[in-house]
Structure formats: structure tokens, C-alpha cells
Structure 1
Amino acid sequence: MTIRFTAPVLGLGLAFAIAAPAQAQTTFRISHQLPPSHHISQLLERFAEDVEARSNGALDVQIFGASQAFSPEQHHPAVARGDIEGAISVNFQWGNTIPEMNVVTIPYFFTDLDRIEKFPGSEAAAMLEDKLLQRGVRNVAWFYTTRQSIFTSSNRPLVELSDFEGVKIRGLNRLVDEGLVAVGAAPAAMPGSEVYQALQTGVIDAGLTDVSAAYSRRFYEVQQYGTVAPFFTVYFHLYVNPAWFDGLDEASRNAILEAAAEAERAAIPLTEETADAAIEQLRSVGMQLHIQSEEEAAAFEAAMQPPVMDAFLASSPDAQALIDAVENLCGRATGATRRVLRTETRRRCAAAFLPLRGRWPGGAADGSDGVIRAEGAKGRRPRAPYVRRRPTPLRPFGSKDPIRLRTLFGSGATFP
């Protein structure tokens, strides 16, 4: 039974009393900050249905969205204390508590689809999951949310690096803002819900969000231009109270983990489709969009990635090992990324890429073109050797028929 509230919950005790199941079941309550229109919120609803089906009704999954039960900053302590069984947070929300969680927000580092597809179950994911466990929560799933950012503006389009000079722009966090400062911008960090008003009143000149949020938050009403770029990647991730999870019977634990793995796979084509739809929707309402070329992306990476990478490496003694683990997923590696790679990692990836030479632009087998490939990342859930492909169409859980994503989910994503 999935519980939905359309009005704010005044108190968890009251809410949970109302939601108490009529029969003996184990309750699995999940809190998150996303509105119902968000595509990850929609995905979570289907995850809940899948868990209940796989557990044959032994688990009663109750969803408390839109911060009705807990606010985003309350999720971690609430789950760790056992006030609620599970919650979803955005990766960069952990800030200095777990600085390693910022690895996917390093500019132009984690935005290749092959890397994103291989992340769940990888050594890199396991390292982050260990950090989360040390903080009293057990990670269950990584829901890929976006890799298509947009720089919005009203006075002039932000296409060249020089266009950012002196521009007051929405910042994300201290780490990512290092890249914006490097090109002369003046970032001001603020939550996504405050950006529209800040743009409207002139507090800031430019916005930074993902393309779906730019549409759902109606940035096009106060911004004329947008530059779409693979700036960074964002994940929402689901975590639970370890004592609660360990206390479940094996069948219930497996039901959650199997449904989580299915949802992780489903999130990739869903997110890609949502972003494509949002780009067309922004154009349809008159926003003038520029899609960043490979050459432009390389120039932005060269200017923005090094200071952010340096700040990330300085943030934790485990940062270098995490960078290496991400590189073992392979994909592209250029600029500051290549600079911090350990020699053995580069050799291993380059050697594994050799049989596929020429399938990506450049084609140098020694990795000097920045295209590298691993033999396969070691992780908790081994994956088959990667073959570059289009994302598998999202299907309803237990169905063989693909979902028409734009119709079912829309493009209501909101970037925090």
C-alpha cells in the first residue's frame, strides 16, 4: 500500500497512525523532498509497487513526498535514529559531512552515459556506500537524475567562457562554485525553489539547473537564453536504517534489493527521455537554446574542471582512490581528470580499450585521446563486460511493453 498525501503532514505520529495497515505487515516508510511531478518521484512510486509485489504483500511501502514528513536536511538523522525506515537525498546535499559524494558533480567528469550505466554496483559506488554506512545509514539504490545542465541568462547567451565574466549566477555548493569562479562568474548558492524569484528581481543574472527543472520552474518567463551542457551529473539515492534492514527476513531484504536494482536500470532511460522532452518544451515556449558542442565542452572542461578537481582532492584523504575507482568505470578522461589518474589505471583502461579502437572519436589506443575503457569494475554486483549501446527502454515492472515516458512521466523534474 503506497501512501500519498496532498497536504502537508502535521506530525509523523498522526500520519503513521492514519496509515497503519489493517493486517500484519512490515511497514517501509520513505520520505523525500520531490514533488509528485518529478520523474524520480514517479519512479519511486513504481519501486514501491514492485517491492510490495516481490514481497507478496509482506512489506507495506508508504511514500511521504514533497518534504511532508521530514525536510531534506532532516532525512539523514531521521533514518539513522530510526524515526523513519528510509529516505531519499540528492548526492551533493551531504556537503562536508561526506565530501566524497560530490564526485559526480565535478564538471565534465561523470557525464558519459556508459559511466553512469556502470556506476551502481561498482567499486566507486561501494566506496560511497561504505561512507554512508559509517554515518549510520545503508544505501539501497542510486537513481540517476540528470547529466544535462543549463546555464540560463537574459541579457546575452552564455556560450563562450568570456561570457561569464562578472555574471552573478546561481551556485550549487562550494566545490562546484570553484569552477564558476575560475571563469570570472560570481556564484551565489541557493536552493532551486528560490532561483526564479532571484532571477526575476535581479539578485542574480543567470541560473544553473538541469533542463527539466528549467522548464518545470518556468525559468523561460524570466530568462531568454539557455546553454545546455553536460556540466555534471546528479543522483538521488535511497538509504535505510541498517538495524531495521538487517532485522527483515531474507525474502523481504531480497525484495527490496531486487526492486532497487530494477529501478536503478529504469532511471537511466527515464532521465534521458525526460531531459530530451524538456529541451523541446523550452524551445516551444520561446527560449533560445544553444546546445554545447564537443569543442565548447572541451574548453569549458579545461577551464572549470581543474580547480574543482583540486578542491575535491583536498576535501578527503580517500578522494584520490575514489577518482581512480570512477576511472575504472572508464569512458572519457581528459584535462584535470587525466592529470590525477594513476599510471596503472590508465594503462589498464587503455589496454582494455584496444579492441574497440576507432569506435569513439579519436581512436588512439594508448588513451591519449581521452577515451579509455576498463576490463570491468569490481563491485558488489558484478556486471557483464560493457558494450556501448542506447539505453534500454523503460518498461513497467513485470511487463514486456515499453512505457511512453513523456506521456507517463512528463518532464517535471526539479533540481535542488
Structure 2
Amino acid sequence: MRTSFRTGLLALSLWTVVQPVQAQDVTFRIAHFLPAVASAQKAILEPWCAELGRQSGGRIRCAFFPSMQLGGTPAQLADQVRNGVADIVWTAPGYSPGRFPRTEALELPGILPLGGVAGGRAIWAFYGQHLKEEYKDYKVLAMHGDGGMNIHTASKRLAGPDDFKGVKLRSPNRSIARTLTALGATPVAMPPAQVTEAIAKGVVDGASAVWEVLLPTKLDEVTRHHLESPADRPAMGATVLVLLMNKQKYDALPADLKAIVDRNSGEPLVERYGKAWDDASTIARNRIRSLPGHTLTVMEAGQYEILLKRTAVVQTEWLADARARNINGEALIAAAREAAAKSLR
């Protein structure tokens, strides 16, 4: 009888020790550089968090910090999540030039297909084969594309490569900055939150910015002319985007919560991003078509081919950078093209 009583007490004490761990609640602090109304938060991260909460019985919650509310600049988001300032960040690796050199192979002119879904599939496949070592300090939840580079200007209409000369344009990453330079434009690096004011004040003439970001940042209010690639050709350039989680935060999760995060991340989350980007792009493009005084130009095929020839130097420069880092750049470009081709099948 006494033994049974002691056994019962031991079991009860073990249960009280283990139970809080099993029932652990967590709140993910999620930071990014766009306003809260952007697709990245409203159409993707908020529904994603809601699904994590539902599947965990409310044990996973999220707190959002849009528009760099935790301080710093977009270029510092990768450090913020690695150092635990945020638990999860959504950012562009290209905002930190040279830090993720292999990723830049995807951002070269004429590599990624247009569109969120196709681009995301190509990027995720490339990540699985070639980028895991580059992101070994993080838990990578998703990696996707921005749909492809477009140009939006306030007063000068661009229709082909000759029209870029002398135009000051915001650039989101090093590859696009080099692309603009090769076309005779002057690239100006700045985060999305500053672009609209910079155009309104005449600091720049326009911006390389994708359709998805146009409405949340109110770029449609300060630009009148919009240029995009032919629909059946690869993007003139692109920005890779990534959802990174603090590795220690992920490792500390109970096994059942890890399983929920894993089940809802990776390929399913990449597809979610892609669809949301395509939907947002359609909405923005249709709005531009409906606004008086706006022009939407699709570059003619011949002009597009000229643009690719003039920007071939961007690939040459990147290959030189890669060789200096003992990176096989040729193999990475070939793999990126192969992933892009497969994403369209």
C-alpha cells in the first residue's frame, strides 16, 4: 500500500514537471519592412499564424512588428532574427549586398520566370539544392520571389532600353542596381518605405518595384508610367525574399509544435506566397489600367532582347565576384536556369 502511494506521488510529481513543457505556449515576434496592409502580412503571415494557432490549440501565437517597428533598417533584419531581436523576419537577402552571394544567381537578368508561383517554385528548388549552407544560421521557413522587376516612373515613359539613360531609379538589390547601370540609368538604393516620398520630392525619377508593393506603399499616387517584361519571357531582374526563423527559438520548441511549424512551412508556404503575390499583382495592374493619366507598357520582344544583351555585363560582374569567393558561379547560373525551366512545366 505504501509502495503504491509512493509510486503515485512520483508519477504525480513527474506529471507536474513534464506537463508545462508539453503545454508550452509560444509567441512568435514577426518583423518585416512593409506596412501591415501589405500582402506579406495580411494575405500570408496572418493566415499562416492563424493556422498555426488552430492546429496547436491556441498554443502558438504571433505578434507583428511591420514597418521596422523593432528598429533598425531592412538590411539589418537578417541580423535581428539571428540575434533573437525578432523570432521570425521576412526580408530580402539582397538588402545586405554580398552577404548571401549564391542567392544572387537567382536575381540576375533573364533568370527567373515572371510570376509569384513559378518564381517561388524555382527559388525553393534552388534553395534545396544549393543554398542550405548559405542559410545554416537560420531556420528557413520559406523562400520565394517578388514576381519580377517592373519600372514605375513619375513623368518619363519608358518603353525600351534606350529610355533608361539618365533616369534615376530606386534599386532593391545589387543585381538590379548593376542592371540599371548597364542601361545608363542611375540606381539609388533605398528601402520600400522611403521610395514614394523620394519620388514625390524628385530625389529619384521612379523605382524598380514589383506590382505587389505598388499599392501598400502608395507608389501609384506618385508614378504615372509603368513598364514590364513580355509575359512569356524571364524577368528583367528579381528580388528573392525569405522568411527566416531564429534557430534557437525553433530548436527550443516542443516536438509537437515543431511538427506544426514544419507542416505549414516549406513548399506549402512558398505556394501560399506565390499565389498571394500573383493575386496582388493582378489587383495592382488592373488598378493602374483604370486610373486616368497612367500608361502601362509591355516591352516589345525585340527591345527585350536588346535589353538582355546590354545587361549581359551584370552576369559577367557577378561571375567575377563568385570566382573571388571560390564559388562556381557558372554551375549556379545553370542550376538556376534549370530550376526556372522546371517551374514552368
Distance 1:189 1:52 in 2: 38
Q: Give the partner amino acid of 1:69.
A: L
Deviation of residue 255 (structure 1)?
A: 0.9
TM-score where L is the length of structure 1: 0.67
- The 3 A distance-change label for structure 1 pair 212 and 80 is closer
Q: 1:355 matched to which residue of 2?
A: none
- The 3 A distance-change label for structure 1 pair 25 and 218 is closer
1:104-123 correspondence runs (5 A): 104-113=106-115, 115-119=118-122, 121-123=124-126
Q: 1:301 matched to which residue of 2?
A: 308
Q: Give the partner amino acid of 2:287.
A: Q
* 2:146 counterpart SS class: strand
Deviation of residue 45 (structure 1)?
A: 0.5
1:270 and 2:283 correspond: no
Q: 1:51 matched to which residue of 2?
A: 52
Q: 1:131 matched to which residue of 2?
A: 134
* 1:97 counterpart SS class: coil
Q: Deviations over 1:366-407 (max 9, x none)?
A: xxxxxxx5xxxxxxxxxxxx673xxxxxxxxxxxxxxxxxxx
Deviation of residue 30 (structure 1)?
A: 1.9
1:10-409 correspondence runs (5 A): 24-42=24-42, 43-71=44-72, 72-113=74-115, 115-119=118-122, 121-133=124-136, 136-147=137-148, 149-155=150-156, 157-229=157-229, 230-260=235-265, 261-286=267-292, 287-304=294-311, 306-316=312-322, 317-318=326-327, 319-331=329-341, 388=345
The two structures, once aligned, show a CA RMSD in angstroms of 2.6
- The 3 A distance-change label for structure 1 pair 121 and 276 is closer
Answer yes or no: is the 8 Å Cα contact 1:124–1:326 preserved in 2: no
Answer yes or no: is the 8 Å Cα contact 1:149–1:211 preserved in 2: yes
- Identity across aligned pairs (percent)? 21
Distance 1:247 1:193 in 2: 34
Distance 1:180 1:291 in 2: 18
Between structures 1 and 2, the one with greater helix share: 2
| Number of aligned positions between the proteins | 309
Higher RCO, Cα 8 Å, sep 6+: 2
Deviation of residue 128 (structure 1)?
A: 2.2
Q: Deviations over 1:324-352 (max 9, x none)?
A: 32133142xxxxxxxxxxxxxxxxxxxxx
The runs of at least 4 aligned residues of structure 1 exceeding 4 Å deviation read 112-115
Deviation of residue 150 (structure 1)?
A: 2.5
- The 3 A distance-change label for structure 1 pair 54 and 144 is farther
Q: Give the partner amino acid of 1:49.
A: A
Answer yes or no: is the 8 Å Cα contact 1:169–1:206 preserved in 2: yes
Answer yes or no: is the 8 Å Cα contact 1:214–1:220 preserved in 2: yes
- The 3 A distance-change label for structure 1 pair 244 and 120 is same
Answer yes or no: is the 8 Å Cα contact 2:166–2:186 preserved in 1: yes
Answer yes or no: is the 8 Å Cα contact 1:173–1:189 preserved in 2: yes
Q: Give the partner amino acid of 1:320.
A: E
Answer yes or no: is the 8 Å Cα contact 1:120–1:264 preserved in 2: no
- The 3 A distance-change label for structure 1 pair 322 and 94 is farther
Does 201-210 or 115-124 show the bigger shift? 115-124
Deviation of residue 125 (structure 1)?
A: 4.0
Q: Give the partner amino acid of 2:142.
A: A
Q: Give the partner amino acid of 1:307.
A: V
Distance 1:49 1:168 in 2: 42
Q: Give the partner amino acid of 1:94.
A: S
Distance 2:213 2:344 in 1: 31
Distance 1:40 1:33 in 2: 10
Q: Give the partner amino acid of 2:262.
A: L
Choose 1 or 2 for highest CA Rg.
2
* 1:329 counterpart SS class: helix
Q: 2:13 matched to which residue of 1?
A: none
Answer yes or no: is the 8 Å Cα contact 1:151–1:228 preserved in 2: no
- The 3 A distance-change label for structure 1 pair 47 and 184 is same
Q: Give the partner amino acid of 1:93.
A: Y
Q: Give the partner amino acid of 2:166.
A: G
Deviation of residue 303 (structure 1)?
A: 1.7
Distance 1:97 1:387 in 2: 29
Task: Structure 2: state its 5+ residue gaps.
Answer: 1-22, 230-234
Q: Deviations over 1:287-330 (max 9, x none)?
A: 111122333333222222x1211222222332333223213314
* 2:268 counterpart SS class: helix
Q: 2:17 matched to which residue of 1?
A: none
Distance 1:200 1:80 in 2: 35
